[in-house]
Structure 1
Amino acid sequence: MSSFFVLQSQYEDLARDEIISISKSYDSKIDVKSEPRLVMISSKVPWHKIANRATFARYSGKIAGTFDDITKIELSIPKPASFVCRTINLSSKNIGSSALERQAGGILSRKWGSKVSLSDPCLTVYLIITDSKKYLGYLDRQVRPKLPVKIIKHPHELDMKLSRCLVNLSQLKEGKILCDPFCGTGTILLEAESMGIQSVGIDFDKIMCKITKKNLAANGFDSKVINSGYEEMLNVKSNAIVTDLPYGISSRASVSPKKLIKDFVSIIPKRKKLVMVYKKGLEVDEISKAKKYEIYRHKSLTRVIAVS
């Protein structure tokens, strides 16, 4: 089964690796093909299972093949009651998208005897144009992820979208256990639980622990939340550690933010999957080999995601 995912232009490397990580959580033997802003995955995993979790995918569906001549396109699928053709131009050229869509729509309508519906189609046919190839894809079902709600927030917390991406980078699937030893108001725990991943939160601040429990309860989740220092993670059974390390006044720690990172990373078991966010400029040798992504916030703050 071949699936396609068209990525948002922002944070393209992060978006690509998120799709690959989700896929690998279900199937370690995936085959990946990639072009600018496009990832194609061949695996046993249904495309919608990946799309349901992905944060930065704009469009997704199944790949039917490639084409050179639009007049000879073939789509070997059951006849839809209605359909629409959409062009996704990822090339460096102006291709006349509207004309291409009308031409493809007319050809398929005559072949299938199906009507074109712009507002509520049963099937969406995608003409994906890159500088090297023209791909034919289709979407036969809508994906509407169930996202958690957060009733109590904090001004310096990690946003929900990026938190979901962090969970996906951990390559955990449903039933596995995630630990966030700096859980704050519980954003990462909420996103994990919403995707069927069990979670345990730890925070030394009693107030934050209470807020986390309220946010979890509002979504019907009952994750364990422990009021303790991050060292408690060593006593928690988990498959991965995913966290946003505090910095500045938010850390309230007796040591510097850089020392906090160094001490934290130094006690993590060697084979434990780690996905962490920290402020750029606080790099330590212990994570020198981690895969990193920079997230620009404003001129005085860039966050770094490290995956190891």
Structure 2
Amino acid sequence: MRYVLEYTRENRDIVSSEINAIKETFRDFDIIYKSDFIYIIEGNYRDIENSGFINYISQIIDEKPDYNEFNCKIPEGKFYVRASVPPGYNTEMVESTVGKILGGRGRISFNNPDFIVRAVKADIWYLGILVYSRNKKDFESRRAPLRPFFSPVSLHPKYARYLINTSYTRPGDTVLDPFCGTGGILIEAALMGRRIIGNDALLNMVMGTKLNLKYFDLKYIEIYNLDIKDLNINKAVDAIVTDMPYGRSSSVNDYDIQNLYKTSFEKFNELLKSHGKCSIIVNNLELLEYSKKFFKIINSVPVYQHRSLIRYFVIIEKIS
């Protein structure tokens, strides 16, 4: 089966990094084509549903140079058409025309459809039956201010999911967040089927993480309250996913930031399985110099938070 993926328009590079990581991790789909905000894949789309950036996935039933040329059968039942078009097209005209071509008279229902048809313009026109639509309210319900315990400095769930998806782990694998804060990354990891371990040097953050995980009815292996240099785990973890401390928002105890990063990467190397990945966020790429004794950099994507702050989403792999 072939599918068209429609993704958010906020950061093309971060979506590309995530889709490629999912592809390499599960190896059950191929990328046939990609353009601005569109992917065409062949194979299993289910793992892509865990992305925070994919808005729609549709099973392709027809493809033509012009939408007026669509000519295919659709399932019995009520439906309606939605179109995704570049500037210059009349969206309502496309939807109306495609609906008529598909025999929509007496079958169009916006309130109780049996299925939804999407017409998507990329290199050509694709017609598909919608199989997945991202539940934006579900994501927003897990934002920091809506949790029982939160900090103003907290990662949006879609970026937490990016870290999990680019950690090259599968459901059942164990991931560690050594600077877990209020537990936002751990929440998404657990919802995606990973076994989770957390740590934070601040006791109130550890207690808050446990409270948040309980609120969402999520299980964890352990949440430690230790300085990073003292963190020890009996078995090597499959991946490390974390938003690295920075500036005034960090709880660095007696470290300056350089020593914290140096110690952290040494500890990551100790705790991580051979050739395991760390998917992390840093504010300063120069601090990655402290990782190069143990890790190689796979990818780095800048994400603009606001005019004065760029954060870098970085994937590193353990050398040995």
- Tell me the TM-score normalized by structure 1: 0.86
Cα 1:277–1:141 shift into 2, 3 Å? closer
CA distance in 2, matches of 1:160, 1:190: 9
* Shift in CA distance, 249/142, structure 1 to aligned 2, threshold 3 Å: closer
Q: Which amino acid aligns with 2:97?
A: Q
Comparing 139-148 and 31-40, the one that deviates more: 139-148
Aligned with residue 301 of structure 1, among 304, 309, 317: 309
Q: Does 1:109 align with 2:107?
A: no
Paired position in structure 2 for 1:212: 209
Change (3 A) 1:54 1:125: same
2: CA distance, partners of 1:295 / 1:70: 36
Percent pairwise identity: 24
Task: Provide the rounded CA distance (Å) in 1 between the counterparts of 2:28 and 2:66.
Answer: 36
Using the alignment, how far apart are the partners of 1:98 and 1:159 within structure 2?
33
Contact 1:189 1:199 in 2 (8 A): yes
Select which of 271, 277, 294 maps to 1:273: 277
Q: Kindly state the Cα deviation for residue 260 of structure 1 after the two structures are TM-superposed.
A: 2.1
User: 1:28, CA displacement in angstroms?
Assistant: 5.4
Separation of aligned partners in 2, 1:284 and 1:141: 38
- Secondary structure of the 1:284 match is helix
Deviations 1:6-45 (A, max 9, x none): 11111111123223333443325633421111112222x2
**SS of equivalent residue, structure 2 residue 179:** coil
Distance 1:33 1:127 in 2: 16
Change (3 A) 1:32 1:203: farther
Q: Please say if 1:58 is aligned against 2:55.
A: yes
- Cα separation, 2, equivalents of 1:235 and 1:256: 28
C-alpha displacement of 1:48? 4.7
CA RMSD of aligned residues (A): 2.5
Structure 1 contact 181–243 (Cα < 8 Å) conserved: yes
| 1:138 is the counterpart of 2:129 | yes
Quickly say closer, same or farther: Cα 1:100–1:299, change in 2 above 3 A: closer
Kept in 1: contact 2:201–2:225 (CA 8 A): yes
**Secondary structure of 1:86's aligned partner:** strand
* Counterparts in 2 of 1:74 and 1:234: CA distance versus 1, 3 Å: farther
Deviation at 1:114, TM superposition (A): 6.2
Given that residues 175 and 194 in structure 2 are in contact (C-alpha distance below 8 angstroms), is that contact kept between their aligned partners in structure 1?
yes
Whether contact under 8 Å (1:81, 1:114) holds in the other structure is no
Distance 1:125 1:4, change over 3 A: same
Q: Residue 16 of structure 1 contacts residue 39 of structure 1 at CA under 8 Å; is this kept in 2?
A: no
**CA distance 1:80–1:20, change in 2 (3 Å):** farther
- The equivalent residue for 2:79 is 83
Corresponding position of 1:230: 228
> Structure 1 stretches of 5 or more lacking a match?
none
The separation in 2 between residues aligned to 1:75 and 1:24, in whole angstroms, is: 33
Q: Find the counterpart in structure 2 of residue 15 from structure 1.
A: 15
Unaligned runs of 5+ in 2: none
TM normalised by structure 2 equals 0.83
Cα shift readout 1:74-126 (whole Å, capped 9, x = no counterpart): 3355x23111121111x4x512222121111111016xx76012333222221
Q: CA 1:295–1:31 in 2, change beyond 3 Å: closer, same or farther? A: closer
> Does structure 2 retain, via aligned residues, the 8 Å contact 1:164–1:188?
yes
What is the deviation of 1:58?
2.2
